[in-house]
Chain A
Amino acid sequence: MRLLNRVRSWWRGIFQRSLVQNEMEAELQFHVEARTEELVQSGVPRAEALRRARLEFGGMEGAKEECLEARGASCLDNLMQDLRYGARTMMRAPGFTTMAVLALALGIGANTAIFSVVNAVLLRPLPYDQPDKLVQLWHVPPQAAFPGIAEFPVSPANFLDWRSQTQSFEGMSAYGRGSYTLTGNGEPETFRMIAVTDGMFSILHARPLLGRGFVSGEDEPGHEQEVVLSYGVWRRRFAGNPDIVGKNITLNARAFTVIGVMGPDFEFPISTDPSLQAQMWKPLAWSDQDRAVRDNHNYAVVARLKPGVAVKQAQNELDGISNRLAQEYPSENRGWGAIAVPLRDDLVGDVRPALLILLGAVVLVLLIACANVANLVLVKALTRRKEQAVRVALGATRRRLLQQALAETLLLAFAGGALGLVFAHYGVILIVKFLAQRLPRSSEISLDGWVLAFTAGISLLAGFAAGLAPAFRAAKTDVNEALKQGLGRATSDSGGSRTRDLLVVSEVALSLMLLIGAGLLIRSLWMLHQVNPGFEAAQVVTMEVAVPIGKFTEPAQQIGYFNRVLDRIRTLPGVQAAGLIDSLPLTDNGSMQPIAVEGRPPVAMADMPEVDVRLISPGYLGAMHLPLLEGRGVDDSDVAGRPGAVLISESMAKLFWPNEGAIGKRLTLYFFPDQPRVVVGIVGDVKLYAVNETQRKATLYFPMAQFTAPRGEAFQSFGMNLAVRTGAAPVNMASTVGLAIHEVDPGIPVQNVHTMDEMISESLSPQRFTMLLLGAFAGLALLLAVVGIYSVTSYSVSRRTNEMGIRVALGASRTDVLMLVIRHGMMLALIGSVIGIAGALLLSRVMRSQLFGVQPTDPATFVAGACGLMIVVLAASYIPARRAMRVDPMVALRYE
C-alpha cells in the first residue's frame, strides 16, 4: 500500500507537476488567509493582519521547494538538474564535447550498422509461419568420392522414401529450379521458375493472395501445366489483373494455367541474391520413371517438423532410414546419409562467422571509444577538482557526485548515439550496396525498432562504461587535499594517472587486436588474388545463351544452333576465340558424375569415383587460355557418331593414372553409358566453384557435340555459357556479341553478361568486404587510441611543466626531457601490445574459417601490427614531448 502511495506521489510529482503546484499554492494561500482572518477578528486592521500573517509564515518559496522535495520528486529533479548542468558544461567546452561525442558516435554508429545487418540476417525470424520448424534436408554423400562435400542434392526415389517413412515431419517437399520464357504477352522474358512437389505451400503455411496453391495430387504428370505467379511478376507483367486466375499464359511455347498469385512478402526459396528471387512456381511432375531414379541427385528438399519434434529427433530418424535404404539399395545408396539443417542455418550458415567477427570488432571499437572518453573526462575532471571539493564541503554526498559525473557521460553517450544513428544510416546503405548480392535477406536490413532499442541500450552502456572511472574518482574527492592545492597543478595525482595509464594500455591492446585481425584478412585477400584460377581471365567476356527448355526436341538441333552462334561470333572483328561451356568456373553450378574406368573391376554405382563433368565446345580452351598439357583439345571432328572423346584435368590424370600415361585410356560416364570415351587430352586444373577452394577438382570435359540425352531419357534443350576472348576491352564487345546471338535466333535470350575478371572479383567480394570493414574498424580503433595517447601525454606534459623546468635548470639536457616523456608513452604502448598480442591470438583463432593461405598466428602480421602501432604511438607522444623539451626553465618555475 505504502509503495503504491509513493509511486502515485512520484507519478504526480513528475507528470502532474503543475497540478501539484497549483494545489500547494492554494493550500498555502488558504493558510495565510485563515491566519489573517483570525487576526482581523482579534481586532488587527486587515492590511496589518495580512502583513503579520505573511511574516509569521516565513519564506513562502522556500517552503514550496521543501514541500516538493518532500514528495520524493527530488531524485528526478536532481537528475534533471545534473543533466542541465552537464549540458551547460558541455557547451562551455566545445572542443572536448566534439571529441567525446564524435568518438562515441563512431563507436555506436559502427555497432548500430553491424547490428542492423546481424538483426536482419541472423536474428529476425524467417518470413514464414513458425519458421523454427522448417528444415532443409540434404544427402550426405560418401566422403571417399566427394571429398569435402557435406551436403548434396537429393534423388527422387530417396526423397519419396524419406517422405513416406518418416514420422517426424508434418510435410516434406522437393523442388528444383529452371527458367521459363514467357511469350505472347509483350516482350519475351525469361523467369526463374521453381518446380515443387505438392504440399510446398502448405508446408510453408503460405496462402496465396489470389487463387490457390497446388493441392495434393497436382504433382502427377498431366497437371504440370499450372503455374503460381509471384506478386512482382503479376504486378509488372499482368498489370495486377485480379482476373488472371484461370487464364492461360504461354511459357516455353506451352500453355500454362495461372492458378494463383502469391502475396508481396512471399519468397521461396530465399535467395542469397535478391535479384535472383523465384518468380513462378509450377508442379514438379515426376513420371513413374522419374520417381524410380535413385542415383541422380538433383533436388533440394524442405520439410516442416511436427509440433514438439526436435531437429535432433528428426535427424535420428533420417539416419535410421538412410541405413535401411543403403542396405536395401546398396548399389545406389551405400555410403549416402541424410542431414536435416534448420532452414535459417542453411541460409545464413556461411555468413554467420564473418558477421559475428565484425560484431565483435565493433564492440572492441566501442570499448576503445569509451576508454577514450573516460580519459578525456578524467583529464577534464582534474581541472574541476576544486569545484568538486567545494561541493563536498558544502554537503554534497558521494552518491550525488557520482550521479553528477555519470549524468555527464550519459549525456555525451546519448548525443553520440544520436549522431551514431546518422552514421549507421549511411553505413547500412553502403553495406547493402556492396553486399546485396552475397548476403541473404539483405533487402530486409534497416534501422528498425529493434535496432533503435539496441542503439539506446549500447548508448546507455557506453555512458556507464565511460563514466564509471571518472565518477568514482570524483566521488573519492578529498576535500582537504583538493582545497589545499590551489588549482591542483603540479601536485601528485598518482591515483588518477594510474587510471589514465590503464585506459591507454587497454586502448592500445584493443586496437592492436583489431589491427592484427584486419592484417590477417588483408593477407588472406592478397593470397586469394595470387591464386591462379587455371585460366586467363583478362579480355574474356561471358554470357549465358539461355535456350529455353523445349526449344529444341533433338540434340542435333541444339548443336546446330550453337555451332551457328559460334560461327557467327568468330567472324566478328576483335574476337580472338570463342567457346561454350555448360557451367562457367567460379559459379555455384556444376555437375558431379560417377565414372567407370575400363579395365578396372566393375563396382556398384555407389562405389564409383565421382568427377566434375563439364560440357564444352571447340574453342573453349582457346577462349579461356586453359593450358593443354598433353594430347589434343576438343575439335570439330568430335561429333555424334565418332568415337567418344574426353579431356581430363591434370589432377584427374594423377588421381586415376598416377604411374602411367592417361592419353588413350577409356572410361564410361555412368549417366551416358552409350559408349566408352577415350581420353584424348590433359588440361590444367581450374578453380571450379570458388577461388578459395583448396581441393583440386578432378574434372572431365566432354564435347557438346557428343551429348545425347542421359540413359535414353527424352532430350530437353538447355542453355550454355559463352566465353569470348577479345582484343578490345571485353565490356565493349558484350553488346556486339549479344546482338550477333540475337541475329541467329531472336527467340533465345542472352543474360548474365560478365567479364571473367568481374566474376573473379565478384567471387572474392565477401572476403573483400569483410576485410574492408574490419580494416576500417581497425583504422578507427587506431585513430581513437592515438587520440587517447596524445591527450594523455599532452596532459601529463602540461602538468609536469614545473618539474621539467627544474630538471632543465638542474642540468638535464633537452634530449633527457624528450626521452622522459616518450619513454612513458612507449612503456604504455609496450604493455598494451603484449596484452593485445595475447588477445589477437584468441581472436585469430575464431577467425580461422575466414583466412586463406595464412596461419592465424602468422608472425609477420603480428610483428607488423605491433610495430606499426608502436610507431604511431611514438608519433603521438613525440609531439607533446617536443613541447616539454622546449620548456623554458624560467617560465616553468615561475608558473606556480
Chain B
Amino acid sequence: MSKQLDLLQGTLDMLILKATSLGPLHGYGILLRIGQISKDRLEIQQGSLYPALYRLEHQGWITSGWGESENKRRAKYYRLTAAGKRRLQAETEKWNRMTDVIAGILETRPEEV
C-alpha cells in the first residue's frame, strides 16, 4: 500500500474545481476523479468534500443540479461556472508561482545563503 499524502489546507477547493472542469460530476464522482488523476496518492476526507462543495456553490464557482447516475440513480451533479473557470485559472497560476518559490527556497544549499 503506497503512502498517501495528507491534503494541504486550501487545496481541496482547487482540486474540486479542476475535477469539475473536465465535465459535470456528482460528489462521489469528484472523489473518484481526483483519486484517478492523483493515482490515489492523495488522502481526501470524504466528510470534508461536501462542505467544500457547498461553499464553492455558495460562492458561485460551481452550480448543481439533479441528474441520473451511471447506475440509474438520482444524483446531484456539479458543473463548473464561467466564474469558476476563471477562479481555477487564477488559483493554478498562484499555485505554480508558490511551488516555484517554495521549491526554490527548499533547494537552496547552505553555501548559497
Contacts and interface: CB of A to CB of B under 8 A. Distances in A.
Given A58-B47, A63-B48, 7 more contacts: A1-B60, A1-B83, A6-B58, A31-B50, A37-B71, A67-B51, A67-B53
Interface in B26-50: 26-28, 31, 45-48, 50
Given A56-B46, A69-B51, A26 B74 contact: yes
A70 B47 contact: no
Nearest to A13: B58
Contacts of A57: 46-47
Interface string A874-888: 000000000000000
16 contacts: A27-B27, A27-B50, A27-B76, A28-B27, A30-B69, A30-B74, A31-B27, A31-B28, A31-B31, A31-B50, A34-B69, A37-B71, A57-B46, A60-B47, A63-B47, A63-B51
A9 B57 contact: yes
A70 B73 CA distance: 26
Contact of A70 (B26, B28, B58): B58
Given A27-B50, A62-B47, A5 B60 contact: yes
Interface in A63-110: 63, 66-72
A373 B47 CA distance: 46
A33 B74 CA distance: 12
A35 interface: yes
A762 interface: no
Contacts of A859: none
B55 interface: yes
Range, interface on chain B: 20 to 34
Contact of A34 (B28, B53, B55): B28
A59 B47 contact: yes
Which 9 A/B pairs are nearest by Cβ-Cβ distance?
A58-B47, A66-B51, A70-B55, A5-B60, A2-B60, A70-B54, A63-B47, A34-B28, A67-B54
Contacts of B47: 57-60, 62-63
A34 B54 CA distance: 20
Interface of A: 1-2, 5-6, 9, 23-24, 26-28, 30-31, 33-35, 37, 56-60, 62-63, 66-72
B59 interface: yes
B15 interface: no
B58 A71 contact: yes
B52 interface: yes
B4 to A, nearest CB: 13
A2 B63 CA distance: 11
A596 to B, nearest CB: 92
B14 interface: no
B75 interface: yes
Interface of B: 26-28, 31, 45-48, 50-55, 57-60, 69, 71, 73-76, 83
Contacts of A70: 51-52, 54-55, 58
A26 B47 CA distance: 15
Contacts of B54: 66-68, 70-71
Contact of A9 (B26, B52, B58): B58
Among A62, A63, A71, residue most surrounded by chain B Cβ atoms (within 10 Å): A63
Nearest to A66: B51
Contacts of A62: 47
B42 to A, nearest CB: 14
B51 A2 contact: no
A301 B2 CA distance: 101
B73 A6 contact: no
Nearest to A35: B28
B74 A2 contact: no
Contacts of B71: 37
A67 B50 contact: yes
A136 B59 CA distance: 62
Given A2-B59, A5-B58, A30-B69, A23 B76 contact: yes
Nearest to A24: B50
A30 B51 contact: no
Contacts of A2: 59-60, 83
A5 B61 CA distance: 10
B22 to A, nearest CB: 19
A60 B48 CA distance: 10
A309 to B, nearest CB: 54
